[in-house]
Amino acid sequence: MESSMLWTGTVPGGATWSHVLKRGTALRMTDVEGSANVAAYFLNFDIPAERFNLPDTLKAQHTARLTKGHVLYSDMGRILCSITEDTVGWHDPLCGFSNNTQVEQKYGKASYQQVRNEWHQNARDGFLVELGKYGMGARDLHATVNFFSKVTVDRAGDLRYSANNSLPGSYVELRAEMNVLVLLNTCQHPLAPGSDYAPRPVELSISRVSPPRTNDPCRMHCSENTRGFMLTELFFL
């Protein structure tokens, strides 16, 4: 895919970041140190009532994990982003994000007053503050994806967190299929073992990319995605 780099930046561990990712650009997230976790939520910036819908994403593609070739569906049958590159192979769509109670129980309390920017942050508060900047709140926060993390489900339905899913330098790229308000949070995965508060940073870059062609791998992944792209393109007519 032709691309030209427009911007690069770093998000430290435990932080929240948002950006309106324009149609025709792609966001690459790189796990600098390995074992990062990026909780992510997406809305149609032009009509924010339309937002990421996890069940529609999983059902359409018959999957309970996300990787290259998959797309992220809105609740309106349209595609917010396509996963165009992925060196990890498994991103967790099942487990949601951390909250204040969990972080305090697991890692102990560390307030801003005590430790300044080393304070123990949680993803829910991060998302709510960031959504607030766009005039939205708790009612607008629905299910999210955990990039770089893997949780498997056994035959009985039990969840198992897989350590070391993402190696240093791993990356995943999201191509925006509409103007997408992207919210990211780099707190640890809520099922990550251990009691050390050690959220990892991610590097971000935004590139201009060519629009999906008729033989685009995400479009051709399944007939559902072909129809999803048709409905997304209709939105821009």
Partner 1 sequence: MATSVLQPSQLLPEDALHSFQVEAGDPFVFQVAKDQIVRIVDLEGNQAVDTLFYNAQDYADRYSAQDTIREQCNVYLTTGTRLISANGNVLLTITADTCGRHDTLGGACSTESNMVRYDLSKGHMHACRQSFMKGILEWGRGLEKRDIASNINFFMNVPITPDGGLTFENGVSDAGKYVELRAEMDVLMVISNCPQLNNPCNGYNPTPVQILIWDTNVQ
Q: CB of residue 223 vs partner 1: minimum separation in angstroms?
A: 9
Taking CB under 8 A as the criterion, the residue among 19, 22, 23, 65 binding partner 1 is 65
Distance of closest approach, residue 65 Cβ to partner 1, in angstroms = 3
Residue closer to partner 1 (CB basis): 65 or 68:
65
Which of 21, 27, 88, 95 touches partner 1 (CB under 8 A)?
Answer: 95
Can residue 90 be called a binding residue for partner 1 (CB under 8 A)? yes
Angle, CA 123 vertex, CA 63 and CA 100 arms, to 5° = 125
User: Among all chains, which residue has been given the structure tokens 């994403």?
Assistant: 57
* CA 112 to chain centroid: 26
| 94/151 Cα distance (integer angstroms) | 8
54 belongs to the binding site for partner 1 (CB under 8 A): yes
**Residue 14 amino acid letter:** G
**Structure tokens of 122?**
């949680």
Q: Which of 76, 110, 209, 220 binds partner 1 (CB under 8 A)?
A: 76
Query: Maximum distance among all alpha carbons in the chain?
Result: 56
Binding string, 10-49, against partner 1, x = CB under 8 A? ---------------------------------------x
Tokens read off for 211: 């629009």
Q: How far is residue 180 from each of residues 15, 52, 140, 185, measured CA to CA in Å? A: 20, 10, 15, 16
DSSP assignment letter at 212: P
Least distance from partner 1 to the Cβ atom of residue 229, Å:
10
**Rounded to an integer, what distance in angstroms lies between the CA atom of residue 161 and that of residue 190?**
10
Closer residue to partner 1 (CB): 115 or 138: 138
One residue of 142, 168, 193, 236 binding partner 1 per CB under 8 A: 142
Residues in contact with partner 1 by CB under 8 A are: 49, 53-56, 58-60, 62-65, 73, 75-78, 90, 94-97, 99, 101, 137-144, 152-159, 190-191, 224, 227-228, 230-231
